[in-house]
Amino acid sequence: MVWLSWALLAAFAAAATAILAKIGVSGVPSTTATAIRTVVVLVAAWALVFLLGEHRTIPQIPRRSLLFLVLSGLATGVSWLAYFRALQMAPASLVSPIDKLSLPLTIVLAVLWLREPVNWQVGVGVTLMTAGALVIWYWSPAS
């Protein structure tokens, strides 16, 4: 599969995540719900690591990579905990667009930290995505 196929799969899975999590978090403390989700991801990811034989590469992981993977894991944990708490407090149709503001924030960080170039089309797209999320939030009767 090409990167776009994987990215689209990720988008569909994230959409399903929002709906399934909103249903699943009902009557369950958000932290507990996040912990259950995390165990499922942990078991599935390690099963794939061993199934694909990638466990042999673990000793060669550079310390710098390991550090940033750990930091990324911590950021993921904060994101999931906050996301599940928000889903308990508001409709998924409001929480998800605000959560997706991670896209424009990622692009800004990629430009500032990774020095990735951005053309005017990306700038317009990010502006429209940000505006869309804010319109949904601001004018929604549930907000």
The helix/strand count (H/E) of the chain reads as 6, 0
* 26 in the same domain as 68: yes
Decide which of 44, 60, 89 is a domain's last residue: 89
| In a shared domain, residues 28 and 63 | yes
Q: What is the number of domains present in the chain? A: 2
Same structural domain, 49 and 116: no
Handedness of CA 107, 113, 117, 118 (dihedral sign): positive
Lowest mean pLDDT among 1-10, 92-101, 134-143: 134-143
Same domain, 83 and 73: yes
Both 121 and 55 in a single domain?
A: no
Longest dimension (CA), the chain: 53
Average confidence (pLDDT) over 29-42: 96
Number of residues that make up the chain? 143
**Containing domain of residue 61, as a range?**
1-89
Q: For residues 91, 93, 131 and 77, what is the CA-based torsion angle, rounded to 10 degrees? A: 70
Same domain assignment for residues 47 and 83: yes
Predicted local confidence at residue 140, as pLDDT = 81
Within this chain, do residues 70 and 111 fall inside the same structural domain, yes or no?
A: no
In this prediction the pTM is 0.85
At 29 the three-state DSSP class reads coil
Residues 20 and 2 in one domain: yes
Considering the domain architecture, whether residues 77 and 143 belong to the same structural domain is answered as no
Same domain, 118 and 97: yes
Q: What is the mean pLDDT of residues 84-100?
A: 92
Same domain membership, residue 106 and residue 73: no
**pLDDT for 54-65, tens place per residue?**
999 999 999 999
Residue ending a domain, among 89, 111, 128, is: 89
Place of tokens 């999590």: 21
